[in-house]
Structure 1
């Protein structure tokens, strides 16, 4: 029994030999080839994925362009992937025939730390959980608390810190800064605690935030390798699976500690505290208070409650925290867009009288609601750099796509949202350029409507992102504060900005920018 995994090890050895052969062939070919990946015996296109994994999203966009926006990709002979960025296929998968394309059991296993939550649920369970989430996120009290927290973090944290950095002339890593800011926002909104990570920039990274990153990085590995490979690694507790097990332990312990503290303070108006922190909301103003006493969530060892809290943290922090660095990256490279945003903000800022002349100006969400160019700048970043670059579905029954491709029961469908933003027939010949104007009506006064099956940054169909409006509002508030108060520019020596190997499109080496206080 102790050596029952030897057959799998033999298969892995053969697979590695084929990968090395593929590497050799790749090196002898032109790197500009637009041909589809080679379909090897046994391992399918896995060698091509390994060779191009460092640029997987651009590689997938190239292949999809050469194959008419869809192709069938066998992997390791036991798996068949249908890869597409065709809007007609997307509408079929996510809306017209969505019941035939659930996330599936494999997806639930890949993200087992959130198993049972809305993130991994399908069918009736998904509809029931979604209704509960919608009820929580529509609470006026919670929304007001989140807006206040965002404003406080900008006024007392982000803006003063950037002002101090500006006086030193030292570059700032906007990726790290934004990640800390958004982690604080969502720890407060979800758990009622403020880790004050934004204020502790000289301290080591918070273990919980690192654990969340690990879940997404190892989840990426689980997506692209055959299940028996990562399950074998999990059994042996080696490689990325060892890191993931440690990360899951961190997240479960953290959420359980928050739950236990909340239960001990039940009936008190003072929320739980982390050491050396100050919570900015009462226990009635956060997500946890809506679930902590619900028997459906705390029975069975609190598993569902933990999974739900982890989901809220990931959904909030990772979506906004991943998007904003790309927004600032694009703004740093396009000063004319910054000028356009400031022109739109000027009437609001001038109406603030003293604030207009003060050292800094913070905008309220309601003040920014009607600003279309600011929102267009954010949507354009989401088009080019969607926080979740790939969506995965499982085929229940054999079907024919609008593109004519046949899929079989058990096939895996991958929708490349990253590639969709680079489709010339959808966005025009300048589809790879950052141009917010493409989102505006001809007179520039309104946002142009783009159906969700053509712009998938917030998903589509019955699984449309519940927190879309919250996310856009918070991003507009943060971007407006930075753009109005500071000039940011990319460093000449800044290395090429590349995404991590993760289920999220996070920046690999951060984003170093030069910050200067804006002269009004």
Structure 2
């Protein structure tokens, strides 16, 4: 009884279960969201949880692009959600200093530590400047390209040859997750975990990432006191979260120790990976520049943030791209024609470079269009510092949670026109055959303003290399009847994976 009195959310949750079951029996059709006594608008949200992203899009359209959600009493679950480009431009650029990550974000994503995603103010500014000097360096781009091409040749092609020769159905989403985990570990830590091989090995630290992602989303949808109670008691989702966090920490700290030992043996790195892997580069730069105190914890947090950025978002983007290209044969034909024109040498893919990849304009448009409709991160949130008035006219109080829906923005006629639901790479290509510039606060996949994603360019490099290698060498066919729908998570994975059959184009 004492626990129930200390945590009124539990009482609300019990009531919600009963109320939700009643609502579910009454109707499964989409209806206007209602602010009920005690439970607020949560019942409407729960009733449509199975189709949350589409429901949020519908609600935003009904409310002119911005909506104030009222949660259950006592739970502090109120927030303002928007898909209005002007509001987003205001929050992320014009009034950037007033919209921070906030305490709720830091608590939900505490596994990120003090890395760039979770930092604010001077700490964030220093880390961004440091990472920008490394990631935007031409030598790093060349190193990154070689890492990705190396995994394509040594891991991806052998796996696809294997499944195609045996006619095996394979989950392409799983393949991409393995690929990006290998690549980000090589780039960030200088270590290849070899997740992608014909044995499809179980890799505990890769699976730990999946668990952390699931637990973080759970923290977003239950009352704060409820998951904090679970954390205190070490039960349920929070117990799994703790176990997964320890597995990944052990892995990262082991990589840090191994890297430091190698560098101590020789002050002059000899291999390309030793020259440019980010763990080594960050450690050396911090030591030279000063700024934040250099420590294993600092290196761990930076490595973890880079791994989080480079694994799931890219693999999700690739999964949706291949599904949508497979279901649009004319798009696939145009991409193949472009690859034939720019990347072939005697009928085979040549050892192309970044400049040659930039000639794949139609493929670039297809990637942008896929990311518009299926952004890997479907929603982001901020917290207001002071009172404000949005361009839409909505008044914002201090400490208000602000959510902007990237998924919904790609489906707004007011932003993209009446054909917003159509997959049209052509909308990204100018009459002269170049890439059309779209403001970042409209095409928000890579964020906007001072926190614009530093990895945007290398993301396109990686996606183009992988797409070219697979599409030119193989025909990808989605298994008939395979259900395709987005998962309800912090990353827009496919709920059931992407089951495909792979056939070689040239035998």
Structure 2 residue 204 is the aligned partner of structure 1 residue 207? yes
Residue 58, structure 1, aligned to residue 54, structure 2: yes
Give the structure 2 partner of residue 516 of structure 1.
503
The answer to whether the aligner puts 1:405 opposite 2:404 as a matched pair is no
1:489 and 2:500 correspond? no
Residue by residue over 1:358-390, the C-alpha shift from the partner in whole angstroms, topping out at 9 and shown as x without a partner, is 5x6664433111221000110111001101100
List per-residue Cα deviations over 1:18-55 (Å, max 9, x = no partner): 3321331243135133x2x2222333222222232222
Residues 490-519 of structure 1, C-alpha deviation per residue, up to 9 Å, x if partnerless?
11131x222233211112221011111114
- Gaps of at least 5 residues in structure 1 are 273-278
**Structure 2 residue matching 1:291: 3-state secondary structure:** helix
Q: Does 1:250 pair with 2:247?
A: yes
- Give the conservation status (yes or no) of the 8 Å contact 2:12–2:72: no
Greater shift, 331-340 or 124-133, is seen at: 124-133
Structure 2 residue 371 is the aligned partner of structure 1 residue 373: no
2:339 corresponds, among 323, 345, 355, to 345
Match of 1:323 in 2: 317
- In the alignment, is residue 395 of structure 1 matched against residue 384 of structure 2? yes
Q: For 1:4-43, list aligned pairs within 5 A.
A: 5-29=3-27, 31-33=29-31, 35=32, 37-43=33-39
Matched, 1:501 2:498: no
Q: CA deviation at 1:439?
A: 1.4
Aligned residue for 2:381, secondary structure, equals strand
- The alignment of Structure 1 onto Structure 2 pairs a total of residues equal to 502
Change (3 A) 1:90 1:176: same
For residue 171 of structure 2, what is the aligned residue in structure 1?
173
| Structure 2 CA distance for aligned equivalents of residues 489 and 280 of structure 1 | 40
C-alpha distance in structure 1 between counterparts of 2:257 and 2:291, whole Å: 14
Residue in 1 aligned with 2:417?
428
Contact 1:19 1:50 in 2 (8 A): no
* Separation (CA, whole Å) in 1 of partners of 2:477 and 2:395: 48
Structure 2 match to 1:457: 445
- Partner of residue 468, structure 2: 480
Cα distance, 1:177 vs structure 2: 0.8
* Change in CA separation of 1:380 and 1:133 when aligned onto 2, cut-off 3 Å: same
Alignment partners' CA distance in 1, 2:104 and 2:8: 24
Alignment of 1:135-154 (within 5 A): 135-154=133-152
Select which of 217, 221, 226 maps to 1:220: 217
Separation in structure 2 between the aligned mates of residue 30 and residue 251 of structure 1, nearest angstrom: 41
The aligned residue for residue 308 of structure 2 is 314
> 5+ residue gaps in structure 2?
none
- Tell me what 2:154 maps to: 156
How far apart are the structure 2 equivalents of 1:508 and 1:270?
Answer: 47
Q: Is contact 1:192-1:280 (8 Å) kept?
A: no
Q: Contact between 2:167 and 2:501, CA under 8 Å: does it hold in 1? A: yes
Further displaced range: 9-18 or 281-290:
9-18
How large is the Cα RMSD of the aligned pairs? 2.3
Structure 1 residues 144 and 55 mapped into 2: Cα distance closer, same or farther (>3 Å)? Answer: same
Provide, for residues 32-80 of structure 1, a one-character-per-residue CA deviation record: whole Å limited to 9, x for no partner: 33x2x22223332222222322221111111111111111002233332
Q: Residue 286 of structure 1 corresponds to which residue in structure 2?
A: 277
Task: Note the alpha carbon deviations across 1:333-373, whole angstroms, 9 max, x for none.
Answer: 111101010111112244x12xx1x5x66644331112210
Q: Calculate the TM-score normalised by the size of structure 1.
A: 0.91
CA offsets 1:397-423 (integer angstroms, 9 cap, x no match): 111111111111111000000000000
Instruction: Give the Cα separation in 2 of the matches to 1:201 and 1:102.
Output: 44
CA distance in 2, matches of 1:368, 1:245: 42
